[in-house]
Structure 1
Amino acid sequence: MKKWNIKLSEFGENTENHLRLLIENEKIKGNEEKTKITMRLGDPSVFGNFPPHPSIKSAITEAIQRDKFTYAGNVGYIFAREAVAEYASHMGEIKADDVILTNCCSMSLEMCILALANRGENILVPKPCYHYETFTNGIGIEIQYYNLDPENDWQIDLVHLESLINEKTKAIVVNSPGNPCGNVFSLQHMFEIIDIAERHCLPIISDEIYEFVTFGDVKHYSFASVSKNVPILVCSGLTKRFLTPAIRCGWIIISDRGNKLQEIRKGLIQKIGGRGFGPNSTIQHALSNILKNVPQTFFNNVNARVDNNARLLFDHLNKIKGLRPIMPKGSIFMLLKIELEKFPKISSSMEFMQLLIKEQNVYTFPSECFHFPGYLRLVLTIPTDVLLETCTRFEEFCNKYLNNEQ
């Protein structure tokens, strides 16, 4: 007699998000004598101290009245795509036909990768980096990790990047402002990256979800605004800059001055775009007002507050023996280097994180999750009083485990 034998598919078996997996499988119990502090997820809305601008709620409320809740086709409503094209005018001449609306930036990235690479082929991504392998492992697309240099503002090691390129390489993924490093590429460095892409005829997938989230006089430039000959697929959305992570509205902007992405454009619009049908209809109706009505002063204030948190955190952690924070230039993250040689009873940043939870009830992500051991990733959008309490707990923890003979 035939028996039930239902197994998870190869795709399902090989697909995982390292950050979410760590949270779901975590069995460590935090110290209940201390309040829980989480510096984990890149969600600025968690603590309520970074609310979205009131005009966003107004735009959604008004959009509900106009929305007929109908399907918007593969790429989104034309009026919503026109709004994104206008918003992206800093990239150059962008038209509505260059915009594909998606459910989120992650979906935009996945679509671009699926359009460019086949099983057995590879894309180049930074290390440390966001978990792009979530989009590739289940379908056999390989990832080659190129190094970012922590001693040089997390710029790309260009020699290492170019050494990885072979006949199966289909694209270079870049991320600036970056997660988890907080790096922001200079114009000169962007030209150097584009030069490599042009010499090898490789398109660039530019993850710009943290666009314009920069500190002080640091400026964000889109790769689409810099490149003249290399085609760029820009992936972004409302999540980070507009402080609306749960809205689920992203986009792909196709910047292709030489018309080299004809087949890719057609595939994204007519084929791959049909997998998701864009973000929900109400958000599309609200998109124009959201993109137009949030004042620049709001963004300036948010950036200044995150910058202040970064400086405060840096100043306090930098005084603690065994810790070496790296000041970010943008995004909402800071990487904290653990000088493990000074903590003889702790073998890795993963173990450091686990003990920090158990003893101090402080939750962070170890950089093993980003393929770059030895660091912790800290989120910068927590309230100032919580941030200072976090520093106190770090100091108490480090003083306990520090090798005092050094």
Structure 2
Amino acid sequence: MFETAKRMEMLPFSGIRVMMEKATQMQKKGEDVIHMEIGRPDFDTPQVIKDAAYDSIRRGNVFYTSNYGTPELRKAIAEKLKRDNDVDYTADEILVTIGVGEGTYAAVAAFLNPGDEVLVPDPVWLNYIHVPNFFGAVPVSYKLREENDFQIDLKELESLITDKTRMLVINTPGNPTGVVQSYETLKGLADIAIRHDLIVVSDEIYEKLVYGGEKHISIASLPGMKERTITLNGFSKCYSMTGWRLGYAAAPVDFIKAMVRVHQYINTCAASFVQEAGITALEKAEPDVQEMVKEYARRRDYMVSAINSMDGVSCKTPGGAFYVFMNIKSFGMSSADMANYLLEEAKIATVPGSAFGSQGEGYVRFSYACSYERIVEGMERMRKALAKLPKKA
């Protein structure tokens, strides 16, 4: 009997995908499950982007590109970063990746040695825990607390820094909390990163999905930060291109040269015609994005209002992304038990907060990247299901 490598013990299955699989199996049996577990926009990819891909294929654009990505897409990304994020990059400072997931992997593989420590939010998308573990690096969690509106506690974070700390991960707007880190918080983080000479990995995949006057700020735009920041972003969420698998990293040339050495042995390059469609997304799809954001805001407002009107649960109003992080602590149940109860009793698929780290225990994550009508139905189902549960004494 063959055994897997020992490192595989550090790679559990995704808690999000576990819930999705359970919900899918229920659907196969004919049950009407409302999917609020997956961070996948329900909108079709804008037609202008699809047309660009069709045209690119028809013109025979079906071959390998440079490992770095096409010069045209890298130039378009650099122009976008200047226009939207106020950071000056050249095409040489851009690496086209297969989504943010690969960017995460390449950044960790390129810069963390076994035993190096990386500061990671808790709760967070768990790639930032498990990928460092895979390479023998040590993720050190800093807590995001509801009572602090999920803003980073700068004093606590700095107290966790040791002589082994090499990297700091931030995610704004954040998954699973939906928090948009404030300018004051980011300025404080920048000061800490400079003072302790840390590499900063900034995951900004939800940057355009902000609501209610919130403003996304790229930490690389702050003084002294571009030279130490790896900005990860992509097309999946804002442009509803999850299946296209297109992302990018922006960083100093030496950083990019290190990351491409990892990238070339994993993927070679992103699909040529997808890269061409990415240019069109950046240059022509902004009106489509704004329509999506308007609808997400409507869904968010309804879900937040509905949850906060129910007995025993509550949530903060998220400033960004498309998630609501619901507090269930009054029921005295684990987040996994609550997620399973909602799936079985109300036929609503959610994700237990514990899937995002220990600080997520006592919460359940909902995605409002499903239709408004299904959200209304789901909230009514949940209201009835929660009414059957006893509260903690």
> Which of 310, 315, 323 pairs up with 1:333?
323
Indicate the SS of the match to 1:321.
Answer: coil
Alpha-carbon offset, residue 302 of structure 1: 1.3
Q: Give yes or no for the alignment of 1:401 onto 2:392.
A: no
> Which of 183, 201, 218 pairs up with 2:197?
201
Q: Give yes or no for the alignment of 1:119 onto 2:125.
A: no
RMSD: 2.2
Superimposed CA distance per residue, residues 312-345 of structure 1 (whole angstroms, 9 cap, x where no aligned partner) = 01111111110012210000111000033xx3xx
CA distance in 1, matches of 2:134, 2:194: 29
1:290 counterpart residue number: 281
Does the CA-based 8 Å contact 1:70-1:281 persist in structure 2? yes
Question: 5+ unaligned residues in a row in structure 1: which ranges?
Answer: none
Structure of greater Rg: 1
Indicate the SS of the match to 2:311.
Answer: coil
Q: Give yes or no for the alignment of 1:75 onto 2:61.
A: no
> Which of 159, 164, 171 pairs up with 2:160?
164
1:226 counterpart residue number: 222
CA distance in 2, matches of 1:242, 1:33: 31
CA distance in 1, matches of 2:158, 2:223: 18
Percent identity over the alignment? 26
CA distance in 2, matches of 1:281, 1:336: 41
Alpha-carbon offset, residue 394 of structure 1: 1.2
Alpha-carbon offset, residue 55 of structure 1: 0.5
Alpha-carbon offset, residue 53 of structure 1: 1.7
1:153 counterpart residue number: 149
Counterpart code for 1:284 = Q
Question: 5+ unaligned residues in a row in structure 2: which ranges?
Answer: none
1:86 counterpart residue number: 79
The two structures have a TM-score, normalised by structure 2, of: 0.92
Counterpart code for 2:125 = Y
> Which of 335, 340, 345 pairs up with 1:349?
335
Alpha-carbon offset, residue 299 of structure 1: 2.0
Counterpart code for 1:187 = Y
CA distance in 2, matches of 1:84, 1:28: 36
Q: How does 1:219-258 map to 2 (within 5 A)?
A: 219-229=215-225, 231-254=228-251, 256=252
Alpha-carbon offset, residue 102 of structure 1: 0.8
Counterpart code for 1:357 = L
Q: In 2 relative to 1, CA 33–72 (structure 1 residues): closer, same or farther, beyond 3 Å?
A: closer
Indicate the SS of the match to 2:230.
Answer: strand
CA distance in 2, matches of 1:113, 1:139: 8
CA distance in 2, matches of 1:115, 1:91: 26
CA distance in 2, matches of 1:190, 1:212: 18
Indicate the SS of the match to 1:246.
Answer: helix
Q: Give yes or no for the alignment of 1:58 onto 2:46.
A: no
2:90 counterpart residue number: 95
Indicate the SS of the match to 1:88.
Answer: helix
Q: In 2 relative to 1, CA 74–16 (structure 1 residues): closer, same or farther, beyond 3 Å?
A: farther
CA distance in 1, matches of 2:221, 2:318: 23
Counterpart code for 1:127 = D
The two structures have a TM-score, normalised by structure 1, of: 0.89
Aligned length: 386
Does the CA-based 8 Å contact 1:29-1:357 persist in structure 2? no
CA distance in 2, matches of 1:55, 1:24: 30
Q: In 2 relative to 1, CA 30–396 (structure 1 residues): closer, same or farther, beyond 3 Å?
A: farther
